[in-house]
Chain A
Amino acid sequence: MGTEAIGKTSPATQSNHPHKPLKLKTFLMILVMVICGPLGNVLLGKGMKQVGAIALWPLSRLFFDATRIFATVPIWLGICSLLVFFVAYMLVLSWADYSFVQPASALAYGVVAMLGYFMLGEDVSPLRWTGIAIICMGVFIVSRTTPRTTNPKVADPG
Chain B
Amino acid sequence: MRVFILFSIIILAGTAGELCVSLAMKRVGEATSFHPAHILRVVMRGLRQPWMWVGVGMMALAFFALLGALSIFNVSFVVPVTALSYIAGALGGAVFLHERVNLWRWIGVLLVAIGVTLVVLGKS
Contacts and interface: CB of A to CB of B under 8 A. Distances in A.
Interface of A: 25, 87, 89-91, 93-95, 97-103, 106, 109-110, 113, 123-145, 149-150, 152-157
Contacts of B67: none
Nearest to A97: B99
B99 A99 contact: yes
Nearest to A152: B30
Contact of B97 (A139, A140, A150, A153): A150
A125 B119 CA distance: 9
A124 B102 CA distance: 34
A138 B109 contact: yes
Nearest to B98: A150
B122 A103 contact: no
Contact of B108 (A93, A113, A142): A142
Interface of B: 18-19, 21-22, 25-32, 34, 38-39, 41-43, 45-46, 86, 89-90, 92-94, 97-102, 104-105, 107-124
A155 B112 contact: no
Given A130-B122, A145-B102, A150-B99, A98 B30 contact: no
A94 B30 contact: yes
A98 B117 CA distance: 21
Contacts of B121: 127, 131
Contacts of B27: 153
Contacts of B117: 131
Contacts of A135: 111-112, 115-116, 119
A109 B116 contact: yes
A97, A100, A123, A128 interface centre (most CB from chain B within 10 Å): A97
A99 B116 CA distance: 16
Nearest to A99: B93
The 8 closest A-B pairs by CB, nearest first: A131-B118, A138-B111, A128-B122, A99-B93, A127-B122, A135-B115, A142-B108, A134-B115
